[in-house]
Structure 1
Amino acid sequence: MRRAASFLALLLCLYWTGAQGESGGLTGNDITQTEIQSEILGVKSTSDQTNITPDIWAELKELRDMAIEHSVELRKLEQETRLTASENEVKELQRENTVLKARMKTSEDVMEELKMENTDLQSRVTASEDKSKVLEARMNASENEVEELKRQIADQPKVAFSLGLTDSGQVGPFNTDITLKFSKVITNFGQVYSPTTGLFTAPVRGAYYFSFTTLDTRSSVWRRVYLYHNDKRVLFSYNFSASSHESVSNSLVLQLEKGDVVYLVLPASYSVFDNTNDHTTFNGFLLFPL
């Protein structure tokens, strides 16, 4: 570019010198300058070239036009070079943008996957929390039931007795029916049996279990005993044996109201036997309140 500018300046100088010659003629100094310029341009008159006179001004104009054309072409080339560089930069930026878009798409996909995993984890945590709440509710219900059972057991009357008749041996026979009074108290929870009267008194309304066993040491006699509920005979047990030391046993469940009484009766002309071995016993307990 600098060479073209220098060349163009030289051409302008020559063009200006030629213009001066046309307007006022050539002086000695002008001729010398013309020769110097002709040498620079490589155009010099010699004795063997006297018949050839080039049109220097036409050539100068042509050279000027060529210089201008070259300058224009250089500018176009620079512009094209810059445009090409810009296009390359744009293509590079587009490539980088494509890479960035791909990376962004990958990041978005990863983000969506993480969101899905997070949603799944939240669902599982929520399900676990719901199960925990259900289990906690069931545990609380079970604890409440246990507490209720404990309360019921604590509130339920303690009713149970086990008795032996006597250590004196044979009891009876008598001329009339008698209530057997079991004097040996093995257990008597709730103090529900009275050895003085021979009566069991129900403390609450409920279902009660009773059992008894009697022994008679006489032979070839009838053995008989009754169980009464209040004034009603509800159990009649007897047997006959030719041998001695025969026993009679029986049991039943009764529904009693609070204050009801249960007791054993030995009929007239019958007897029972007991000693320290407790051959004749009476037992009972509360199954459950009603």
Structure 2
Amino acid sequence: MRRAASFLALLLCLYWTGTQGESGGVTGNDITQTEIQSEILGVKSTSDQTNISPDIWAELKELRDMAIEHRVELRKLEQENTAIQTRLTASESKNAVLESKMNASENEVKELQRENTVLKARMKTSENVMEELKMENTDLQSRVTASEDKRKVLEARMNVSENEVEELKMDIADQPKVAFSLGLTDDGLLGPFNTDITLKFSKVITNFGRAYSPITGLFTAPVRGAYYFSLNTVDLQNNAWSVVSLYHNNKRVLWSSNYNNGTGSNRLSNSLVLQLEKGDVVYLVLRAGDTVYDNTYNHTTFNGFLLFPL
């Protein structure tokens, strides 16, 4: 009974010591071997008084050693636990930083996705605009091509026209210039004569090509062609006929006549177009017994010109 009581007392002491170390009182490091030996000596003296056997002391020593080892191991475990907690806190801090960065990255990704969506929409709009511009460009190219074709056609026609103009210029340059306009005389009344006479228009107003001779009164065709002729005469005799004829070579082709009944001057006017061969002659003839009148006002005239060569 006494052995059991002593053993229980030692165990209670060890438990109290361990409890104090856990609650912040005496720790494992504070229990020195001197204090343990004092407790053992106290127990030993009590045991001597109660006559405890030496085997109990050996068991108590072993229990003491085991308690010390357990406290040392417990301290190491506490230190390791503290280090692990420190590392865990650091890891949690890192995790928090990483989570913050991850959230920022996710927000950036979402923002980039929104921007990408906007860019895709703008790209689609740009592609549509580009397609429209391509269509407009194609239409413009077609119109430009058509315009160039028209321009080429116009240039070709212009070249043809220019060539024709040049040919006409050459033809005109080669074509003889034939035209005359004549007045009869400044002496007043001419006639009457006993026979038909060729009127010689002595007042040359124009005589291009010099085809008319005021000496002979004949117009000589320089080339084969169509010619226009006209005549105007005035006669002052009252109650008389006035007859002037136009001859082609020896053939009368125009007869102009009028009767003056005494009411004023007798006027004749006529014209025609003749086809002449080169060397043909044209002239005016006054009938025998008739008269014509002219002065500086050119009342009696003879005109002609080449329409075109044949």
Task: Report SS of the residue matched to 1:191.
Answer: coil
Please say if residues 174 and 270 of structure 1, whose CA atoms lie closer than 8 Å, have aligned partners that are also in contact: no
Residue 134 of structure 1 is matched in structure 2 by 151
Pairing 1:271–2:253 present: no
Pairing 1:90–2:105 present: yes
Pairing 1:221–2:240 present: yes
1:14-93 aligned within 5 A: 42-44=24-26, 56=71, 63=78, 66-67=81-82, 70=85, 73-74=88-89, 77-78=92-93, 80-81=95-96, 83-93=98-108
Distance 1:289 1:99 in 2: 90
Residue 303 of structure 2 is matched in structure 1 by 283
Distance 2:25 2:223 in 1: 152
Distance 1:44 1:247 in 2: 170
1:167 maps to which of 186, 196, 210: 186
Please say if residues 200 and 262 of structure 1, whose CA atoms lie closer than 8 Å, have aligned partners that are also in contact: yes
What is the letter of the counterpart of residue 80 of structure 1? N
Structure 1 residue 122 displacement after superposition: 8.9
Task: Report SS of the residue matched to 2:92.
Answer: helix
Q: Does the C-alpha gap of structure 1 residues 73 and 162 become closer, same or farther in structure 2, counting only changes over 3 Å?
A: same
Greater C-alpha radius of gyration: 2
Distance 1:151 1:122 in 2: 47
Structure 1 residue 118 displacement after superposition: 8.4
Q: TM-score, normalised by structure 2?
A: 0.60
Structure 1 residue 269 displacement after superposition: 3.4
What is the letter of the counterpart of residue 265 of structure 1? V
Task: Report SS of the residue matched to 2:112.
Answer: helix
Cα RMSD (Å): 4.4
Share of identical aligned residues, percent? 46
Structure 1 residue 179 displacement after superposition: 2.2
Please say if residues 191 and 289 of structure 2, whose CA atoms lie closer than 8 Å, have aligned partners that are also in contact: no
Distance 2:275 2:111 in 1: 97
User: Residues 258-288 of structure 1: CA distance to partner in whole angstroms, max 9, x if unpaired?
Assistant: 3332211223333323344433211112234
Distance 2:168 2:107 in 1: 83
Task: Report SS of the residue matched to 2:103.
Answer: helix
Q: Does the C-alpha gap of structure 1 residues 209 and 121 become closer, same or farther in structure 2, counting only changes over 3 Å?
A: same
Please say if residues 237 and 250 of structure 1, whose CA atoms lie closer than 8 Å, have aligned partners that are also in contact: yes
Residue 6 of structure 1 is matched in structure 2 by none
Structure 1 residue 234 displacement after superposition: 1.9
Stretch of structure 1 that moved more, 235-244 or 84-93:
84-93
Q: Does the C-alpha gap of structure 1 residues 40 and 146 become closer, same or farther in structure 2, counting only changes over 3 Å?
A: farther
Q: TM-score, normalised by structure 1?
A: 0.64
1:187 maps to which of 186, 189, 206: 206
Distance 1:239 1:118 in 2: 84
Structure 1 residue 158 displacement after superposition: 2.2
> How many residue pairs align between the two structures?
249
Task: Report SS of the residue matched to 1:213.
Answer: strand
Stretch of structure 1 that moved more, 162-171 or 125-134:
125-134
Residue 266 of structure 2 is matched in structure 1 by 246
Residue 231 of structure 1 is matched in structure 2 by 250
1:136-151 aligned within 5 A: 137=155, 150-151=169-170
Distance 1:227 1:123 in 2: 70
User: Residues 196-225 of structure 1: CA distance to partner in whole angstroms, max 9, x if unpaired?
Assistant: 222112223433221111222222222111
Unaligned runs of 5+ in 1: 1-34
Distance 2:159 2:128 in 1: 41
Distance 1:222 1:153 in 2: 44
Structure 1 residue 148 displacement after superposition: 5.3
